[in-house]
Amino acid sequence: MSLKRFIGNKAFYKYVFIMVLPIILQNGLNNFVNLLDNVMVGSLGTEQMSGVAIVNQLIFVYILCVFGGTAGAGIFTAQYYGNGNNEGIKHTIRFKWYMCTVIALIAGLIFLFFHEPLIRLFLNEGSETGDLELAFKYAKQYFVVVIFAQIPNTITQIYSGTLRETGETMQPMIASLVSVFANAILNYILIFGKLGLPALGVTGAAVATLIARIIECAYVIIYTNTHTHKYPFFKRVFESFKIPVFLLKKLLSKGINLLANESLWSIVQTALLYCYSLRGLSVIAAMNITNTFNNLFSIVFLSLGNAIAIIVGNLLGAGKLEEAKDADNKILALSFACCFVLGGLLAILSPVLVHLYKVEEEVKTLAVTFLLIVSAFMPIHSLLHGTYFTLRSGGKTMLTFIFDSGFSTFVSLPLAFVLATFTQLSAPLIYLCVFSADIIKVVWGLILLKKGVWINNIVSGDNNELENKTA
């Protein structure tokens, strides 16, 4: 096998760099500010940090449901853009609104009536650290405010997602930068009571998040509506809410699979946290620290996954199938190589990084162990993430569902549950066993990529169909 298949020329990397740099900066700054927020909340105590972490895990399920609900339409957006079909993009934007409205209503009802028992699921005895009832109290204080931040956040995802899918990564980045800076400043003021304001603790963190999300949402709405000459698919997009039946069927067939995938996958991740939490409140605090640094060091491969969705999706929509395959190979190889470096860096720095938090030594020790496991598996997870976006870019959403959440549901979760319930293994050893199972998944993914089952133009012929519908 020639290595030339996986190494691009200078022009290719320049193109990828220009495309992905704003996404990396956006995700990087987002995660850096999340780190600062996390450290600020963590300085209040283990109970405060654990309560916030539990609520954020529950909201994580909702956010991924929104992502899944819009991802199916996003495949069509990217391919329509490559095909030059602005009318098709308008229909995908409308579809995203419909899906997000339904998801928000269902999630709102669940959170309204069941947030207390959901929070208590994660509060278990098992360590020497933490007051469970105090953690529950802080979780409720945070939840009743931060839940409202999901309304502007959802609208932002519709607008920013569409911009990214059509190759515009700069403006979503700017919106995010404005938001994260506002969030960081407001967190400092409201959590600790600066500028003459009262110290609100975790409630202050929630209020800061709400205001920052409103600012971000306002930016993308104002920008897109004042630049319709540059993005014609936003011009009078809601003049009509109709979507042609043939296209609605296609959007639903792809969208439902991805919605089911993201929903189930996020639920599985939450259930995995529950399994780890059976070892005590200190594990939740340690997992919160681990996830914060993991997200920060994973920004390159997470951003390159978005690059695959954009670049490969555009090429497939333009009918350039061989070019799409070639680009995918090279981006995956780039992501894999970067993660060797970043994983090693995380392993070296992890004993130092955990001391940013003013938590008990038990929590710090657990966090370092979790981070070492994360760093070792980072290259493998870069391939898994890239494989997911590759399969998705070609519209293979059912295969994506089986590959992603299917594996997590029938392999990862049962393994964690059995080990947590019926053995005395420590949380880090259970974590290691679950990660080790991903080796099977990555081999399966590489086989699927080599077979080229994902190489597919799903919008071919839609231009004529839409012209007939609008004539």
HEC string of 187-216 equals HHHHHHCCCCCCCCCHHHHHHHHHHHHHHH
**Quick count: other Cβ atoms within 10 Å of Cβ 292?**
23
Residue 260 reports pLDDT greater than 80: yes
Domain of 373 in residue numbering reads as 3-470
Q: How confident is the model at residue 288 (pLDDT cuts 50, 70, 90)?
A: confident
Return the pLDDT at 462. Answer: 57
Return the pLDDT at 259. Answer: 80
Collapsed DSSP state (helix, strand, coil) of residue 57: helix
Structural domain count of the chain: 1
> pLDDT per residue over 261-278, tens digit each?
888 888 898 899 889 988
Looking at residues 141-146, what average pLDDT do you find? 92
Q: How far apart are the first and last CA of the chain?
A: 51
Instruction: Compute the distance between CA of residue 76 and CA of residue 78 in angstroms, rounded to an integer.
Output: 5
Return the pLDDT at 372. Answer: 97
Residue 281 reports pLDDT greater than 90: no
Residue 79 reports pLDDT greater than 90: no
DSSP 134-164: HHHHHHHHHHHHHGGGHHHHHHHHHHHHHHH
Residue 297 phi, psi dihedral angles, 5° rounding: -85, -10
> pLDDT per residue over 184-228, tens digit each?
899 999 999 999 899 999 999 999 999 999 999 999 999 999 999
> pLDDT per residue over 12-42, tens digit each?
888 888 878 877 877 776 667 667 777 788 7
DSSP classification of residue 425 = -
> pLDDT per residue over 403-428, tens digit each?
888 999 999 999 999 999 999 999 99
Helix 299-307 with 281-297: angle, nearest 10 deg: 60
Q: How confident is the model at residue 302 (pLDDT cuts 50, 70, 90)?
A: confident
Q: How far is CA 271 from CA 197, 350, 420, 440, 468, in A?
A: 38, 26, 12, 21, 48
Looking at residues 98-121, what average pLDDT do you find? 91
